[in-house]
Amino acid sequence: MRNHLRVNARQNDSVLARTHHRTIPSTIAHTWTHEGLAGFYRGLGTNLVRVLPGTCVTFVVYENLAWLLKRAASRREARARAGTGI
């Protein structure tokens, strides 16, 4: 059994070596040749649907917190000026 698994693993490795590209330039060349420019953007729409909602929430939270902190700082400065008579 163990020997059978080793043989299958070696066969699978040789199949992977023949079907997968080993370097980035060879992968780019293969994609350009077989799929064209659209091949580089495959999956972009799906990824945007996955990432965009979280990004929007992060942006809104950041902007609201920045506004609140600026407002709190300006109020604190106004109270400090009123207390010192400057």
The number of domains in the chain is 2
The pTM score is 0.54
Q: Write out pLDDT tens, residues 60-84.
A: 999 999 999 999 999 999 999 988 7
29 shares its domain with 52: no
81 shares its domain with 58: yes
Closest by Cα among 60, 56, 79, 80 to 68: 60
38 shares its domain with 48: no
56 shares its domain with 79: yes
57 shares its domain with 68: yes
CA distance 32 to 21: 13
Give the domain range for residue 74.
43-86
17 shares its domain with 34: yes
Q: Write out pLDDT tens, residues 14-62.
A: 655 566 778 999 999 999 999 999 999 999 999 999 999 999 999 999 9
49 shares its domain with 17: no
23 shares its domain with 37: yes
Q: Is the pLDDT of residue 4 over 50?
A: no
Per DSSP, the residues of 40-83 read: GGTTHHHHHHHHHHHHHHHHHHHHHHHHHHHHHHHHHHHHHHHH
